[in-house]
Amino acid sequence: MKKEIHIFFTALMFFTRIPCPKWVHHDPEYLKLSSKYFPLVGIIVGSIGALLFYGFSFLFSTEIALLLSIFATIYTTGAFHEDGFADVCDGFGGGWTKDKILIIMKDSRLGTYGTIGILLLLAIKFTSLREIEINYIPLALIAAHSSSRFIATTLIYTHPYVRDTDDSKAKPAAKSMSLKMLLISGAFGIAPLFFFKNPMIFLTLIPMYISKMFLGAKFKKWIGGQTGDCAGAVQQLSEVVFYLTLIAIWKYIW
């Protein structure tokens, strides 16, 4: 049990700015095992966003509360996944060979493709959340953050890690994943969906996984697998797809 707690805190420390006990450190072995807790970290991040949205909605308009909520989740994670999404946009937008794509993604500078991509992503995220019934926004935030991280772990499971340098901080976490770890990740990832009390909500997982397959095919074609940035891009895209699918389900099926 103590080992599992350590592994969870390793995931929390790696993917968020949330303070962890001093005895938790970046153990490479624990980091490799921590991917099963990514969706649980998502529940925590989503809950922070949901709580702040709920509180700010009493003081400000829905739009301002949403912006502050999105800002809170980005701050909590240090824009970890958003950075990965932007890097993928730059890499696959400006690179035409595997080596060039990987070099661009590793570059800390933000390019044109990354700038446009992240701006459009955040705009769609905000607009789609605004379309969701206000009483369900907190739950939607939690469910989106947990399920999208589960979808990201399926990329780690199905696609090999391709970066062969040892200076990538994401390498230990994104290198591999066992079936048992994937199932644990899935349990945490879909758990918040049950609180919607309507089985139709599980339909959101279909387009989310399709979005992962779409990006996964591009990753496989151009670089032969995935990197930590690729997993971050899948998380961000599938999060947005969750919101959009929820709106569609609400409009035509719910």
Blockwise average pLDDT, block size 10, the chain, 254 residues: 87 92 80 91 98 97 97 96 96 94 93 96 97 96 98 96 60 70 96 95 97 97 95 97 96 82
pLDDT of residue 174: 54
CB-CB neighbours of 161 under 10 Å: 21
Helix (H) or strand (E) holding 102: helix 98-106
CA–CA gap between residue 169 and residue 31 (Å, rounded):
10
Helix (H, G, I), strand (E, B) or coil at 254: coil
CA–CA gap between residue 78 and residue 143 (Å, rounded):
20
Written as six digits, the tokens of 112 are 């044109």
* Interval 120-168: pLDDT, tens: 999 999 999 999 999 999 999 999 999 999 999 999 999 999 975 544 4
CA–CA gap between residue 188 and residue 42 (Å, rounded):
9
What are residue 144's DSSP bridge partners? none
Task: Name the residue among 212, 203, 216, 194 with its Cα closest to residue 252.
Answer: 203
CA–CA gap between residue 118 and residue 89 (Å, rounded):
9
pLDDT of residue 251: 87
pLDDT of residue 110: 93
pLDDT of residue 164: 54
